[in-house]
Amino acid sequence: MATAHSRTAARLMVSPAVILLFLWMIVPLGMTIYFSFLRYNLLQPGTSFAGFDNYYYFLTQAAFWDALWNTITLVVGVLIITVFGGIALALLLDQPMWGQGIVRVMVIAPFFVMPTVSALVWKNMFMNPVNGMFAHIAKALGLQPYDFLAHAPLASIILIVAWAWLPFSTLILLTALQSLDREQQEAAEMDGASWLSRFWYLTVPHLTRSITVVILIQTIFLLSVFAEILVTTNGGPGTASTNLPYLVYAQSLLSFDVGGGSAGGIAAVILANIVAFFLMRMIGKNLDA
């Protein structure tokens, strides 16, 4: 069908996108790798070759292991809440009810709130130990108000991020549920299959692909959570809520250590690639089916 002429034209039309993305991948990443081998501080003149020193110092500092652990906890914590919560919510919203459209709109809304707004609203108006909503509720119940961000900073950030991402998983799983074969469900019901076995043998297999997609896409975004940490805790207290992106930001743009920050950036890229490798295999299989 395609002529040689149109094939050449097609190649020409793809090339700007490919070239731009290729440059975007290669040039800055190459520079990061290059900087990571330099002794390079913005406050000191000149640079010199540092070998693997930057990597050594970055990877052996206690802050790195804290950050790595926090990054993983944040991703896994948010994924657990949003995947299970998303399945439950999607099943609920799939039932016949009055005013479904309005409920749907309310559930989806948090996704459109920019990260800096959601983080600040939660921090000040809900988690603030003096005037926050939770403090008021605690006082009304005769309890001591709890300073969420000081005593459980990472858990609080997980809550904030999960609130923002729950709509996403709900929406995707709901869309998938709505394409479920109703006749198959009814046939199973007539044959006497219980709700649980219908859920387990018909609904769950049908949702697997969408759950894979949810995990893949959320992981991409969750590995680089930044704004929520910047405006709530600044990574603290200590390194209690510092994740890798925040640590790299602190090292390169707050301490002006370009070499060390670059080494950290490469560590983040490697982590993302390990995760991506498994996820792409998973999703690649699922997408073919």
Q: 192 to 251, contacts with another protein by CB under 8 A?
A: 209-210, 213, 217, 220, 223-224, 226-227, 230-232, 244-245, 248-249
Q: Does 138 bind another protein (CB under 8 A)?
A: no
By CB under 8 A, name the one of 37, 58, 148, 163 that touches another protein: 163
> Rounded distance, CA 236 to CA 270, Å?
25
Least distance in angstroms from the C-beta of 77 to another protein: 18
E strands in the chain: 38-39, 48-49
Using an 8 Å Cβ cutoff, are 222 and 3 in contact? no
What is the closest distance, in whole angstroms, from the C-beta atom of residue 56 to another protein in the complex? 18
Secondary structure (3-state) at 220: helix
Asked if 226 and 160 count as a contact pair (C-beta separation under 8 A), the reply is no
Q: Give the DSSP letter of residue 257.
A: B
**# chain residues binding another protein, by CB under 8 A:** 106
Pattern 19-38, another protein, x by CB under 8 A: -xx--xx-xxx-xx--x---
At residue 41, the 3 state secondary structure works out as strand
Q: Which residue in 2, 43, 62, 190 binds another protein (CB under 8 A)?
A: 2
Among 115, 129, 145, 236, binds another protein (CB under 8 A): 115
Among 43, 62, 140, 196, binds another protein (CB under 8 A): 140
Phi-psi region of 238 (alpha: psi -120 to 50; beta: other; left: phi over 0): left
Residue 232: closest CA among 163, 169, 167: 163
Asked if 63 interacts with another protein (CB under 8 A), we say no
In this chain, which of 80, 117, 180, 254 binds another protein, going by CB under 8 A?
117
Q: Which stretch binds another protein (CB under 8 A): 44-52, 162-170, 180-188, 189-197?
A: 162-170
> Diameter of the chain by CA atoms?
79
The angle subtended at Cα 40 by Cα 34 and Cα 44, nearest 5°, is 160
Task: Name the minimum Å distance from CB 127 to another protein.
Answer: 11
